[in-house]
Amino acid sequence: MNYGGRFGDLWLLLTGLMLLVSVVAQQVSLFMVGAVLLATAGISRLWERYCLSRIEYSRVIMPARAFPGEAVDLHITLVNRKPLPLAWLELEDEVPDDVVFSGDVQLTSSFKTGRRLLGRLLALRWYERVIRTYQFIAPPRGYYSFGPMSMRSGDLFGLFTTERTQPAEDHLIVYPEVRPMAALGLPPRFLVGDMRLKRSLVPDPMRMVGVREYAPGDSIRQIHWRATARAQRLQVKQLEATTSLDLLIFLNVSTTIPDWLGVAPALLERAVTTAASVADHALAHSYRVGLYANTNPPGSDQQLRIVLGRAGDQRLRVLEALAKVTGLATLSMESFLRRETRSLPWGTTLLIVTGVLPESMLASLARLRRAGRQVAVVYTGDAAAPSHFAGVPVFTTQWTDDGELKLA
């Protein structure tokens, strides 16, 4: 509520009445006082009109991606790019409730759930630049937004005030915890259980080991035109055969049966940590890894999908996707599997990471196994689970007192 503006309007009204009375009563001294007050109000009104013009505000989070417990800096830069100084400037920046700043930083409550306000009151000289740095420890896994920001200022006397909101937001991505496979207690060859992984020898177009004469059935795209010109006979590229191991992780974000009972945060984090750890190990051992989850990432109307890959940035893509995972399932896992597996290449190992084992999902996995799919389950729940069902191996997670995670 703009109390300063209301008081300024009242000031103008009273000043106008004072001038009117002074003219009627022919009181020169009263008229002079009214004129001074009117001039003050006019200057204050002009100040209020231009005080927030050419004020630049920027927010930088460094680093913008971190693991839980790492140090993060929030840099705030404020610049006054005009000759008009500001006697006072009040700033309020929305920050996540999970962020705890180091030192004596004053935060006030917000009407928004899970949000607080980082407030500052300062003065700005003409063409002055002010930089403030706030430090905090990266909170638990998640996708955190900072902003919007609102600023308020006015004249020196507080007669007139104006406000401005900067809707731009900046984000901090906190990756999930990643456990090494040694801590998981699972030999590398049993990454997805005791089933045999399908290794397919495929020609790698990036690895040419020589040329040979063309044979019926060779692709036209494999013809080596320079070698053909030299030999005066069709020559084709001879490619090195490589081993392709494909692992697609399906993360079930449902933690209760049925889903509408709510979310079990600890169970969700256990499943996310398990998925991150398995993906990290598989990528380190030259697997092509993908990640699907039956939840929508922030700002998307589609379920989470990271297609199979093993490029250098695949690990960060998977971790970033897992950082944004919430416990809101937008599709049941059985429906999600039924839809997504139709287009998946055969030979891809499907690893379902889940904290619950509803009968409908078990039936869906059994159908996939009977159809010839390579399927395994990592169960992260607290209830007892079978070691296998319908030919599908089931692994459970074990958490030791010192926080070590193992699959058994």
pLDDT of 37 reads: 65
Under CATH, to which class is 55-174 assigned? mainly beta
HEC states along 148-186?
CEEEEEECCCCCCEEEEEECCCEEEEECCCCCCHHHHCC
Q: How far is CA 189 from the centre of its chain?
A: 32
CB 96 within 8 A of CB 144: yes
Asked if the bond preceding 258 is cis, omega within 30° of 0, the reply is: yes
pTM tops 0.85, yes or no: no
Which two structure tokens, joined as six digits, stand for 79? Answer: 């610049």
CATH of domain 181-197+245-407: 3.40.50
Q: At what angle do helices 3-25 and 28-50 cross, to 10 degrees?
A: 160
pLDDT for 407: 73
- Return the pLDDT at 235: 85
Residues 6+ apart with CB under 8 A from 241: 201, 202, 203, 204
HSE-up of 56 (CA within 13 Å, CB side)?
Answer: 12
pLDDT on residue 226? 85
What confidence score (pLDDT) does residue 297 get? 94
- Angle subtended at Cα 277 by Cα 260 and Cα 253, rounded to the nearest 5 degrees: 10
Burial 302-327 (b: 16+ CB within 10 A, else e): ebbebebbbeeebbebbbbbbbbbbb
Q: Which of these, 17, 86, 29, lies nearest to 57 by C-alpha position?
A: 86
Cα–Cα distance for residue pair 140/143, rounded to 1 Å: 10
Q: Are 238 and 209 in contact (CB under 8 A)?
A: yes
User: DSSP alpha helices (H): ranges in 26-130?
Assistant: 28-50
- Bridge partners (DSSP) of residue 198 are none
Kind of pairing between the strands at 392-399 and 374-379:
parallel
For the chain, give the number of residues. 408
Environment class of residue 366 by beta-carbon count within 10 Å: exposed (0-12), middle (13-18) or buried (19+)? middle
Nearest CA among 164, 147, 8, 146 for reference residue 86 = 164
Residue ranges of the alpha helices (H) in 197-287?
Answer: 225-231, 265-284
The three state secondary structure string of 133-151 is EEEEECCCCEEEEECCEEE
At 19 the three-state DSSP class reads: helix
Please report the DSSP string for 73-89 in residue order.
EEEEEEEE-SS--EEEE
> Domain limits of the chain?
1-32, 55-174, 181-197+245-407, 200-244
pLDDT, residue 184, reads 47
Rounded distance, CA 64 to CA 87, Å? 34
Contact 161, 117 (CB under 8 A): no
Q: Residue 291, Cβ neighbours under 10 Å: how many?
A: 26
pLDDT of amino acid 46: 78
pLDDT in tens, the chain (408 residues): 444 555 556 666 666 676 677 677 777 776 677 666 666 666 777 787 889 999 999 999 999 999 999 999 999 999 999 999 999 999 999 999 999 999 999 899 999 999 999 999 999 999 999 999 999 999 999 999 999 999 999 877 777 788 999 999 999 999 999 987 665 444 344 444 333 444 444 454 545 667 888 887 777 777 888 888 888 888 888 765 445 688 999 999 999 988 888 899 999 999 999 999 999 988 988 889 999 999 999 999 999 999 999 988 999 999 999 999 999 999 999 999 999 999 898 878 899 999 999 999 999 999 999 998 889 999 999 888 888 788 888 988 877 676 666 777
